[in-house]
């Protein structure tokens, strides 16, 4: 009986991964490693593909392990191009794991070798990876605090500015090479970096380029991403109507692509945008659509957000009964998911509403003095700790002063 050779197993692994079945591919690659080979270049290719397969499967510890094996092997056999590739892959994996400093070292190694070999394609790819590491680093530090885009501490700003520089450098090369797909990726992430830096006009310009390239390729997922990012940028430019148009296109594409989670996100963004436009009926309509999908996907956190938003929108319309209903639901869900600060927020909402409805309310409310009320309504103080933490991934938006004054 013929035993399958290491090479045969590896070839089957490659075929399966190319066909999109990474899980099955991994089994074949692991079997190939078990059988073993004396051809270290073949072994390096197997480790590399195992690392990538685990990366796509989001098993980053395993990905790290195999890319590390690949790097060691490439160095041992003096395969410089192989070392560059392994360094790049290791860098990307370390980035996802949040080890930014080591990721930078690895991606820089990828860049240095590519330059040494005068490999322009490799150089461009390393620059893109470096941009991504600095972007993640910046975003990671930023998300530890509570900042709106554009309101950043210096270390965050520095990391994001570096990311922007690397994306620009990448763009120079890939434009020369005529690689439109790579340009598309760089424009998208450059746009997101400008967005975080608060350069919203530049963000729009970059995302418009991304959109153009996505359409060239008929890449509807990329097109959808561009619409969504354009919507976000226009929100911060205060152009809510334009933002709503882009979010509607996002929604349209999400429906075409049958991506319920993205559809929910688009509805949620539209709900918030219509709240900014003070069109509460439409806001409620979209928040309800978001709620339905969140329930369908059993996304408790999303459901809680929907109830919170609906409670606010109904309060703005003076529909206190509905507002009470959703505040109660928000409280229930916060308890269910063990969100302590969400629970506190919901309790505060409920006692506010009870007060408005002339019902009895907790004695804690007596702490609220007239001066604080007036002060708050004048400067639109942003809630800090509690609500921020209860609403993961969310930022509170300040409205323009005119809007605040015209509010009541």
Partner 1 sequence: SQPLSGRQAAELQSKVVPSKQILHSDNMEMEPETMETKSVTDYFSKLHMGSLVYSCTSKRKNK
Residue given tokens 């090369």 in the structure block = 173
Task: Return the exposure string of 212-245: e unless at least 16 CB atoms fall within 10 Å of the residue's CB, then b.
Answer: ebbeeeeeeebbbbbbbbbbbbbbbeeebebbbb
Mapped onto helix, strand or coil, the DSSP state of residue 296 is helix
The answer to whether residue 278 forms part of the interface with partner 1 (CB under 8 A) is: yes
CA–CA separation, 168 and 274 (whole Å): 35
Window 105-124: residues binding partner 1 (CB under 8 A): 110, 117, 122
Query: Per rule CB under 8 A, is residue 44 in the interface with partner 1?
Result: yes
Report helix angle 40-56 to 22-35, nearest 10.
150
**CA angle at 76 for the pair 134 and 37, rounded to the nearest 5°:** 110
Regarding 381 and contact with partner 1 (CB under 8 A), the answer is yes
Q: Which of 89, 209, 244, 334 binds partner 1 (CB under 8 A)?
A: 89
Residue corresponding to tokens 């990307």: 92
Beta carbon nearer to partner 1, 172 or 221: 221
Q: Based on CB atoms, which residue is closest to partner 1, 41 or 215?
A: 41
Torsion of CA 56, 57, 63, 64, to 10 degrees: 90
- Which of 92, 199, 244, 334 binds partner 1 (CB under 8 A)? It is 92
Q: Match 């890319």 to its residue by tokens.
A: 67
CA dihedral 155, 157, 158, 160 (to 10 degrees): 120
Residue numbers 302-341 binding partner 1 by CB under 8 A: 305, 308-309, 311-312, 315-316
Is residue 269 a contact residue for partner 1 (CB under 8 A)? yes
Q: Minimum distance between the CB of residue 266 and partner 1, rounded to whole angstroms?
A: 10
CB of 215 to partner 1, least distance (A): 16
Q: Quick one: which of 118, 298, 360, 393 contacts partner 1 (CB under 8 A)?
A: 393
> What tokens does 30 get?
């692991």
Number of residues that bind partner 1 (CB under 8 A): 103
Q: Is 293 in the site for partner 1 (CB under 8 A)?
A: no
Shortest distance, CB of residue 155 to partner 1, whole angstroms?
A: 19
- The structure tokens 């009320």 sit at 373
Contact range with partner 1 by CB under 8 A, out of 19-27, 43-51, 152-160, 328-336: 43-51
Find the binding residues for partner 1 in span 154-213 (CB under 8 A): 184-186, 188-189, 192, 195-196
Q: Whole-number minimum distance, CB 134 to partner 1, in Å?
A: 13
């Amino acid at each position: 009986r013929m035993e399958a050779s290491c090479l045969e197993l590896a070839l089957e692994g490659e075929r399966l991964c190319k066909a999109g079945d990474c899980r099955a591919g991994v089994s074949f690659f692991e079997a190939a490693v078990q059988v073993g080979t004396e051809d270290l270049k073949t072994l390096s290719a197997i480790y590399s593909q195992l690392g990538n397969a685990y990366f796509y499967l989001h098993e980053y510890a395993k990905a790290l392990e195999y890319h590390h094996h690949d790097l060691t092997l490439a160095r041992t056999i003096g395969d410089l191009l192989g070392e560059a590739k392994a360094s790049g892959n290791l860098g990307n994996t370390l980035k996802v794991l949040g080890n930014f400093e080591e990721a930078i070292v690895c991606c820089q190694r990828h860049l240095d070798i590519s330059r040494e070999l005068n490999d322009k394609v490799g150089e461009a790819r390393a620059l893109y990876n470096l941009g991504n590491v600095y972007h993640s680093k910046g975003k990671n530090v930023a998300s530890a605090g509570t900042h709106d885009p554009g309101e950043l501490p210096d270390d965050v700003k520095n990391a994001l500015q570096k990311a922007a520089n690397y994306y620009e450098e990448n763009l120079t090369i890939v434009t020369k090479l005529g690689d439109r797909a790579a340009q598309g990726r760089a424009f998208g992430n450059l746009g997101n970096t400008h967005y975080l830096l608060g350069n919203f006009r530049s963000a729009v310009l970059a995302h418009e380029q991304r959109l153009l390239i996505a359409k060239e390729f008929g890449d509807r997922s990329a097109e959808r991403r561009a619409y969504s990012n354009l919507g976000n940028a226009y929100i911060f430019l205060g152009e809510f109507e334009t933002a709503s148009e882009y979010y509607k296109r996002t929604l349209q594409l999400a429906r075409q692509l049958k991506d319920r989670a993205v559809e929910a996100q688009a509805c949620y963004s539209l709900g918030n945008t219509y709240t900014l436009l003070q069109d509460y009926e439409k806001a409620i309509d979209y928040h309800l659509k978001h709620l339905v999908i969140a329930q369908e996907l059993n996304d408790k956190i999303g459901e809680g957000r929907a109830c919170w938003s609906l409670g606010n929108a109904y309060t703005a319309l003076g529909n206190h009964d509905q507002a009470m209903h959703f505040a109660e639901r928000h409280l229930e869900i916060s308890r269910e998911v063990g969100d302590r600060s969400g629970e506190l927020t919901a309790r505060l909402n409920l006692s506010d509403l009870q007060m408005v409805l002339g019902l009895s309310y907790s004695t804690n409310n007596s702490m609220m003095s007239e001066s604080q009320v007036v002060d708050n309504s004048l400067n639109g103080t942003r809630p800090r700790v509690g609500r921020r933490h209860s609403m993961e991934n969310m930022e509170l938006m300040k409205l323009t002063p005119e809007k605040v004054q015209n509010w009541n």
